[in-house]
Structure 1
């Protein structure tokens, strides 16, 4: 199974990468989690998603600048090492892997729950085991198989959302499914105004909004296996603004125009309510199928991302050397198998751990996401400062505004960390985050000591 080569194969086309980028941030958080942000901010959550989207785009452009200049499978971990030092690369890489493992645990568990809706007699663990083995097998095949599966899963998610938006506009403008009476958009300001919970409500919702964008950074990891990274990466990243406008702002605009914002999430998923309003009585079943594909897509991306990150870290000397082993298909098979085993153990722990303990661990994913984004921006700043003026002018895909834009992004993300600490329910993630960083520092010092000996 193993080859002498430790190099990954470039098998992802522009079409694959564009849809990986398109589907990476469209998951269960949008289908079910958007209700929490709406309840917190009211209609002004639209503004929160726009603001958050601008920062997400800044992060993507900063990562894109480095990825196009130097495509690497370990992406931001490698850039952190090259431009900030070995310790930064070590902490960033392992933090991302832990973040993705936690997210994957949630996605795998969610898949079992969703399948249980249709097959209540089948034990939950059967579905969990099945999806881990199936996704693991897919990730052990040629990278084109992964790209093709991710393309179709993302395509289905995107198509469903577009259908809902178009149908929603039909309800708003022509009253389709509403007895011919258009609903209009007055619900955006008639129930307490656009800032129903004040400007502070919109600000407090930003932490939920930013977490919803988590996952967009996977586009950087695909650079190491892109057939034409200098073309495909810019095209995929430049699709981010319209993707945010359509799939986040557009979706929530339609939902809150049809329903008063204070009713969204009370009687079920906003998506289910919209489909039911269209007269589709099987809305719950349709949505369940959509969310199953969303969770499959998320698990697929999680396994891919962690596998490539661990492979790159092993090349840097930050992970066991065995992680560099490549199959005849050009796949880092050892890291994929490790991820599968970790998921099986983690899912078992999820069954036996009390809910509050698991919540503490899961909340670290929010902290880890913001940490990785901050390190991407710091890396871009260090990268730019190491270039001469003529080298900056020659960059193929530069971040507009350069260092100043990255500094703005860092300040905003530090503000998000402050918001996480503001809430008692999420404050614990900061404490856990500090503990995680201390453990990584200890691990790094032990590693360096062993290397010297």
Structure 2
């Protein structure tokens, strides 16, 4: 089994450890806690930090599984690759297909949020103009260079984290003046009378959306300077992002025990900033939210294009030459990036609620199968279950991760489940058509290097390494 990624995949190795972490944090969008605070506070009866704590625990076990599998399969395909290689190519395709729903819709969500921001500021300008401008800029940057994208993303993430810290300071000042709970030395934001476990778990499925990003880091494996940095980046992103969510939600819940002070519960971020810091701070904080959306747009667009590229490279996503193509000088999957840009243009018409409801389905599918792939690889294939340590690492930890993810499954919104299953059914239909037209099953699809995927022979994968990766 190949344990190190080949240099000849076509993608360029430019990302350091902290560049990858910044992309993960940008994807996670730390300010999203303030955007969804009103909805989650209403859902959990004022226990937002508890919902984040539950989600963080679930994500922690799953992050361990991601870290272990990326060491074994250092490919940009993430859950798709792990399931394909440890279980079955057909099942891997379906996991990749459902995960694609999550990854494809996130860039679209960011374009939608930008449309909402800009139309509120400039109501006289049609919303579609902002969508086109935003998508064109994000697509152009991702085509140009992932290194350039990561640098801009890093600056945007630093800006939003600084403004979040400023919010926390201002909120603590308000608490000292008797606002809300009047103190941080209280457990009320975590647990109080009227809080039900079922409500907190439902809230956890909502905030699970906030953590999507640590898993997308695996999409950058083939562009990391050192593949050993990727597992570290996964855990760092989860812990840093989780700490930001927990601290900010605890302070916010202490300052705003309920939603009575908000006129707009669906997105109270501007009002929260106004109430703790006045008009000037509101402008700055909304600017930080805008920057966070741009950073998330950059990172999410980059990651899903890598998934499409790998699925095209494995000849399960057609047209192969379109998705598998890598530009000979830019070393980016140009056509896959363009495809994501075209999908993101759909943000011109739909509502944010409709699109957001579909995202968690794909994420939970990916999380579930990454945990199962650990068991399939280490226990079923390698028989590593003979010692107590092996049982703990290879059975207990991934099973806990899977079980906790299953709990979130049971509280998934019905609309998300219906739409997700419909998308999966489309994937099954696509696989059947692919088999009917080609005469081959998904397990028989491998790269045929003699065809070539672009005009640059240096972009082709080394045949020996390829056979090891796909074995």
- With the shorter chain as reference, the TM-score category is 0.7 to 0.9
Q: Which moved more, 1:32-41 or 1:201-210?
A: 201-210
1:263-294 Cα shifts (integer Å, max 9, x gaps): 36445655444433444223432232122112
Instruction: Give the conservation status (yes or no) of the 8 Å contact 2:108–2:343.
Output: no
Q: Mapping of 1:99-178 within 5 angstroms?
A: 99-172=102-175, 174-175=176-177
| Aligned CA-pair RMSD | 3.0
CA distance in 2, matches of 1:239, 1:217: 9
2:77 aligned with 1:45, yes or no?
no
User: In structure 2, what is the equivalent of residue 340 of structure 1?
Assistant: 341
- TM-score, structure 2 length as denominator? 0.82
The structure 2 residue matched to 1:402, chosen from 390, 394, 399, is 394
2:409 aligned with 1:411, yes or no?
no
1:333 to partner: Cα distance: 0.5
User: In structure 1, what is the equivalent of residue 196 of structure 2?
Assistant: 198
Gaps of 5+ in 1: 421-425
Q: Secondary structure at the match of 2:213?
A: coil
User: In structure 1, what is the equivalent of residue 182 of structure 2?
Assistant: 183
The structure 1 residue matched to 2:247, chosen from 243, 250, 256, is 250
Instruction: Give the conservation status (yes or no) of the 8 Å contact 2:24–2:299.
Output: no
The structure 1 residue matched to 2:367, chosen from 369, 373, 382, is 373
Instruction: Give the conservation status (yes or no) of the 8 Å contact 2:94–2:427.
Output: yes
The structure 1 residue matched to 2:432, chosen from 445, 448, 451, is 445
The structure 1 residue matched to 2:382, chosen from 387, 400, 403, is 387
User: In structure 2, what is the equivalent of residue 311 of structure 1?
Assistant: 309
The structure 2 residue matched to 1:433, chosen from 408, 417, 420, is 420
Instruction: Give the conservation status (yes or no) of the 8 Å contact 1:384–1:392.
Output: no
CA distance in 1, matches of 2:181, 2:306: 50
CA distance in 2, matches of 1:107, 1:232: 25
Q: Mapping of 1:58-69 within 5 angstroms?
A: 58-69=61-72
Q: Secondary structure at the match of 1:73?
A: coil
2:93 aligned with 1:94, yes or no?
no
- TM-score, structure 1 length as denominator? 0.85
User: In structure 2, what is the equivalent of residue 423 of structure 1?
Assistant: none
CA distance in 2, matches of 1:399, 1:101: 36
Q: Secondary structure at the match of 1:325?
A: coil
CA distance in 1, matches of 2:392, 2:148: 35
Instruction: Give the conservation status (yes or no) of the 8 Å contact 1:42–1:194.
Output: no
More helix by share: 1
Instruction: Give the conservation status (yes or no) of the 8 Å contact 1:142–1:329.
Output: yes
Gaps of 5+ in 2: 1-7, 441-471
Q: Which moved more, 1:274-283 or 1:85-94?
A: 274-283
Relative to structure 1, is the Cα distance of residues 113 and 428 closer, same or farther in structure 2, using a 3 angstrom cutoff?
closer
Relative to structure 1, is the Cα distance of residues 319 and 309 closer, same or farther in structure 2, using a 3 angstrom cutoff?
same
CA distance in 1, matches of 2:300, 2:279: 33
Instruction: Give the conservation status (yes or no) of the 8 Å contact 2:101–2:423.
Output: no
Relative to structure 1, is the Cα distance of residues 283 and 163 closer, same or farther in structure 2, using a 3 angstrom cutoff?
closer
Instruction: Give the conservation status (yes or no) of the 8 Å contact 1:44–1:196.
Output: no
Runs of 4+ in 1 over 4 A off after TM superposition: 264-271, 358-362, 388-394
The structure 1 residue matched to 2:294, chosen from 293, 296, 299, is 296
Relative to structure 1, is the Cα distance of residues 446 and 211 closer, same or farther in structure 2, using a 3 angstrom cutoff?
same
Size of the alignment, in residue pairs? 428
